[in-house]
Homo-oligomer: A and B are copies of this chain.
Amino acid sequence: MILNNRDKLREECGVFGIFTHGSCDVVPEVYHALHALQHRGQESCGMALSDDGVITGFKDTGLVDEVFTPGRVKKIGQGQMAIGHCRYGTYGGHTRENAQPLVVRHIKGGMALCFNGNLTNTDELREELELSGAIFHSQSDIEVIAYVITRERLTAPSIQEAVSRAMDRLRGAYSLLIMSPRKLIAVRDPFGFRPLSLGRRGDEYLAASETCAFDILGARFLREIRPGEILTISDKGLESNTSHCQEETALCVFEFIYFARPDSVVEGSGVHTARKRAGAFLASARPAEADVVIGVPDSGLDAALGFAEKSGIPYGVGFIKSKYIARTFIKPTQAERENALRIKLSVISDTVRDKRVVLVDDSIVRGTTSARIVRLLREAGAREVHMRLSSPPFLYPCYFGTDIDSAEHLIANNHSVEDIRALIGADSLGYLPAEALHKLAENSGCGFCDACFTGRYPVAPPANTEFSKFDRRIHNGSK
């Protein structure tokens, strides 16, 4: 549910790459793939093409459909390879320079790069680079990554070897695509925090954050890029470097609960099915006496269906979510904020009137939207509202590519479950037990990162976030 952006987590990015043979019309392919990945980032987007070794790019703030207008698409031209990126954020137009892919020019060959994730040692790397004469145009990690690779490139025998050496220096989460004039390289950090899959269509290869990008193009899923793997796609075919692969892996479990699209398959498990399974676990662990189970659109619907099936309580459609964009003419009163929600979400009274309702959502960040939704249901005649969440409470910030950025902003960090229940005005409140998390993706062989719920960080978080990029402010030393 994306009612109020400040009250909702935002995924950081989606990446896509395609390698074809001979110059062809790849721009529509990237356009459609980014469209399928748009839920992973709505702030800005971009693509870069390699046409006979010449790399060009275009990026801007806005949705895929806004940035890549028909006129723009026509101008971009053809290519043998391309990468694309969509990014979340609300910094406004100023962040055009933070959009990706980053295209860099260098005597050893140009490069375009984009990634999904977050480095935890950015500040150290940046200081070291700047002290040896590097200048930066942006605040984004991708520029740091580009520099580290370029420095290694000066002595490495190949770009993929430069990438391998660079990985010794990069810490944190990164699912990375690199396009050199003749190669497309897909890389995943050793823990594999963020998903990255390999697809195929005829003799073409594709890489994408999620498999839904393959489906939209009529390509088929081949396999995941392995955590720690460097996969090089070139005219010679595939070449895999697994020297950074390790035993311990840590895919973000919230991909299953919220981030990924329901029709994507992650680590062998359908996301829709994983969410229904979360609902079923909830029904067992946090049961409720009720007449109907409804979900908050769109992200609570799958778990609501799972809850209904497991509990035997009928599934109902409780809300209509408007398909159309509307501004709110908000005045800063509580009543007006209620209206803002009403514009986006309408209750179907027949479903809830005089009923005991189980209301399923994926998570609570600050709680204000949940409170409003509970109130809407009561106004529509619901007798009881039992809120159920398909994830455990957020307790710890995330440093691996989501914006769960600060413990103080998380309602669960400083309130008991009972307090939260009272705050949102529900008759009962139940969270998914943390133990259930690892069972969501049934057949997966991988490990999961659940640090935001448990505080168990696979990689140490940044030591000192003072005067760092986590300030999210531009730093300019004085003189």
Sorting the interface of chain A by its residue count into under 10, 10 to 19, 20 to 34 or 35 or more gives 35 or more
Q: Does A470 contact B (CB under 8 A)?
A: no
Give A92 to B71 CA distance when docked, in angstroms.
12
Residues in A lying within 8 Å of B, measured CB to CB: 28, 31-32, 35-36, 38-39, 53-56, 58, 63-65, 70, 72-73, 75, 92-94, 96, 102-110, 126-127, 130-139, 146-147, 150-151, 154, 158-159, 180-183, 212, 215-218, 261-263, 265, 270, 272-273, 298, 301-302, 305, 309, 314-317, 320, 322-327, 329, 339, 342-343, 346-351, 473-479
Give A94 to B476 CA distance when docked, in angstroms.
28
- A sample of 30 inter-chain contacts (CB < 8 A) reads A38-B322, A39-B323, A54-B473, A54-B474, A55-B476, A56-B94, A65-B324, A70-B327, A72-B93, A75-B93, A102-B137, A105-B476, A106-B134, A108-B477, A131-B154, A135-B147, A180-B479, A181-B478, A181-B479, A182-B478, A182-B479, A216-B339, A216-B343, A217-B339, A262-B348, A263-B347, A265-B349, A272-B317, A272-B351, A305-B317
CB distance from A133 to the nearest CB of B (A): 5
- When distances are taken between beta carbons in the complex, the residues of chain B under 8 Å from A58 are 93-94
Give A70 to B329 CA distance when docked, in angstroms.
9
Give A181 to B478 CA distance when docked, in angstroms.
6
- When distances are taken between beta carbons in the complex, the residues of chain B under 8 Å from A323 are 38-39, 298, 323
- When distances are taken between beta carbons in the complex, the residues of chain B under 8 Å from A347 are 215, 263
Give A102 to B138 CA distance when docked, in angstroms.
11
Q: Is the CB of A317 within 8 A of B302?
A: yes
Q: Is the CB of B35 within 8 A of A343?
A: yes
Give A323 to B324 CA distance when docked, in angstroms.
10
* Given A105-B475, A107-B477, A320 contacting B54 (CB threshold 8 A): no
CB distance from A295 to the nearest CB of B (A): 10
- When distances are taken between beta carbons in the complex, the residues of chain B under 8 Å from A55 are 474, 476
CB distance from A1 to the nearest CB of B (A): 12
- When distances are taken between beta carbons in the complex, the residues of chain B under 8 Å from A181 are 476-479
Q: Is the CB of A105 within 8 A of B54?
A: no
Q: Is the CB of B135 within 8 A of A105?
A: yes
CB < 8 Å neighbour of A127 from B107, B137, B151, B154:
B107
- When distances are taken between beta carbons in the complex, the residues of chain B under 8 Å from A109 are 476-479
- When distances are taken between beta carbons in the complex, the residues of chain B under 8 Å from A147 are 133, 135
CB distance from A235 to the nearest CB of B (A): 12
Q: Is the CB of A315 within 8 A of B324?
A: no
Give A180 to B351 CA distance when docked, in angstroms.
40
Q: Is the CB of A146 within 8 A of B135?
A: yes
Q: Which one of A58, A134, A322 has the highest number of Cβ atoms from chain B below 10 Å of its Cβ? A: A134
Q: Is the CB of A110 within 8 A of B343?
A: no
Q: Which residue of B lies closest to A73 (CB)?
A: B329
Q: Which residue of B lies closest to A269 (CB)?
A: B350
Give A131 to B107 CA distance when docked, in angstroms.
7
Give A467 to B155 CA distance when docked, in angstroms.
23
CB distance from A172 to the nearest CB of B (A): 20
Q: Is the CB of B322 within 8 A of A105?
A: no
Give A56 to B138 CA distance when docked, in angstroms.
11
Give A270 to B218 CA distance when docked, in angstroms.
40
- When distances are taken between beta carbons in the complex, the residues of chain B under 8 Å from A477 are 106-110, 181
- When distances are taken between beta carbons in the complex, the residues of chain B under 8 Å from A302 are 317
Give A35 to B309 CA distance when docked, in angstroms.
35
Give A347 to B182 CA distance when docked, in angstroms.
35
CB distance from A55 to the nearest CB of B (A): 5
Q: Is the CB of A154 within 8 A of B137?
A: no
Give A346 to B63 CA distance when docked, in angstroms.
20
Give A91 to B351 CA distance when docked, in angstroms.
38
Give A65 to B349 CA distance when docked, in angstroms.
27
- When distances are taken between beta carbons in the complex, the residues of chain B under 8 Å from A139 are 105
Give A138 to B102 CA distance when docked, in angstroms.
11
Give A16 to B476 CA distance when docked, in angstroms.
22
* Given A105-B476, A127-B107, A479-B183, A350 contacting B137 (CB threshold 8 A): no
